Amino acid sequence: MEIKKKLILDIKNLKVQFDIPSKSLLPWAKPIPLKAVNGINIKLYEGETLGVVGESGCGKSTLARAIIGLVPVTSGSVVWLGEDLASLNDEAMREKRKEIQMIFQDPLASLNPRMNVGDIVAEPLRTFYPHLSKAEVKEQVKDIMNKVGLLPNVINRYPHEFSGGQCQRIGIARALILKPKMIICDEPVSALDVSIQAQVVNLLKSLQKELGISLIFIAHDLSVVKHISDRVLVMYLGNEVEFGECKPLFAEPKHPYTKALMSAVPIPDPRLERAKKIQMLEGDLPSPMNPPSGCVFRTRCPIAVEACTSANVTLKGDEIHSAACIMQ
């Protein structure tokens, strides 16, 4: 009998729009809308990892920041454990941040250079649990540093004294110190060497198994996403173009954009790598302030037809695997 997992995050038709001032000198000129996230739907279950992939400018980081409340939601809902986060006031949202934490892309830039490691990791505890004694805080800091592979005797050192991989471990420790239910990882390994990337990803997987946390893992590298994710969302120009469980999506991608991304992933075998046909995308990513009509990918799609210019393209398929392409 299959055990049904608990739904912890339910995102429905999420849209984030920024109004960009017009370059016109006319005082009545209206701002130009930039649709950074355009109708994303996600369900995340307890202990699950959702991978989010797409090229730069597709809205991945904006999606992450909208979930955690760092940018305002234009429309749609972000339902966390049955409660819409977009409807909460600042104080209520502050309390929810104990349950939702974030790991950022640049490990060094995300740490305060004026604070030592012990203070950086302890800061969330002092913010949310001011009643804890210094001894209790120090004990919890040492425990979480052990979990992420850092020796407790480095708590008096500063971020610039550590490597990129060690700084990212400090960021992970800081995110875990409050025992959150979900962590959003915004490209946490893109600034690291390949060998260090593997260490950080394996660390996240082991911590997830031990602590039962859910992850939203944002990345460019599909091989990393394949290794850590249970399900994958592919984004293009703020839109969802393919979604599904990891194995069927990687085994048989349906959308031309996903196929192009996967063809760029290196194969360890030199003979297979030389024989592989890379699907090059023509043209540049369109401006999100002036997206194409119909299918947003049609201007770069190798199989686009006339109907793509006016089609209302949405995900077609089931929960296991679906794609937003009228040719499927």
Span 305-315, pLDDT tens digits? 888 888 788 88
Helices (H), the chain: 60-68, 90-96, 117-128, 134-147, 164-176, 194-211, 222-228, 246-251, 256-263, 270-275
* Mean pLDDT computed over every residue of the chain: 88
Give the amino acid at 25.
L
**pLDDT > 70 fraction of the chain, expressed in percent and rounded:** 98
How far, in Å, CA of 315 to CA of 318, rounded? Answer: 9
How far, in Å, CA of 202 to CA of 198, rounded? Answer: 6
Residue 1 predicted with pLDDT over 70: no
pLDDT at 4: 65
Classify residue 58 by burial, with Cβ atoms within 10 Å: 0-12, 13-18, 19+: buried
Residues of the chain with CATH 3.40.50.300: 7-20+32-99+180-323
Q: Which fold has domain 7-20+32-99+180-323?
A: Rossmann fold (3.40.50)
Query: Per the structure block, which two tokens stand in for 199?
Result: 């260490």
**Paired sense of beta strands 214-219 and 49-53, if any:** parallel
How far, in Å, CA of 66 to CA of 74, rounded? Answer: 9
When pLDDT is averaged across residues 200-226 and rounded to a whole number, the result is 89
